[in-house]
Amino acid sequence: MSDFAKQALAGLRVLLLLTVVTGVLYPAAVWSVSRLPGLHANAEAVDTTLVGVDRDGDRWFHTRPSAATLPASGGSNKGERDPGHDAVVAERRTAVARREGVPEDRVPEDAVTASASGLDPHVSPAYADLQVPRVARATGLGEDRVRQLVADSSAGRAAGFLGEPTVNVTVLNRLLDAER
């Protein structure tokens, strides 16, 4: 057998082995682990605060909009110059203003623009503050108590100067669950 044939055969073996490992065994292992009991509850990831799950109803804080349908992840390919983008943002602004009972000009940008992954659990303090009266009414908790829960779910700038302050809605809604 020539050297070329030996190398081609060796390359083919490696190709087949890697195809089986990365195309069959690894995906099967990941799928199996995802099916273990206790990892998900009510379609919400358990023991993580890195995934935002938007809950329906007035008693919950809402995350940023998503272009994806959960449990999938994905953004939209519409940019600021896409005419469809402006229509979607305007529609979301109207819906949020109605839900929160405020004029449209009080709705923060992160309430109407989707995050890149569609799974971001963080909102701005302004968006969380806008939602406090509605959540307080729906839960029967006082606004002061709800504001304290918002503060408990907040994080400042990383290293004191990087990024913007945020409120983790996943943490916040779990704190609301504990208040029942």
Vertex 179 angle, CA 148 and 166, to 5°: 40
List the chain domain ranges.
Answer: 3-36, 41-178
Q: pLDDT digit of tens for each residue in the chain (180 aa)?
A: 899 999 999 999 999 999 999 999 999 998 888 777 655 555 555 667 777 777 888 999 999 887 665 555 556 666 778 878 888 889 999 999 999 999 999 999 999 988 777 678 899 999 999 999 999 999 999 999 999 999 999 999 888 889 899 999 999 999 999 987
Q: Collect contacts of 57-60 with beta carbons under 8 A, ≥24 apart.
A: 57/138, 58/99, 58/134, 58/135, 58/137, 58/138, 59/135, 59/138, 59/139, 59/176, 60/135, 60/173, 60/176
What is d(CA 5, CA 24) in angstroms, rounded to the nearest whole number?
A: 27
Two tokens, residue 143: 């606004």
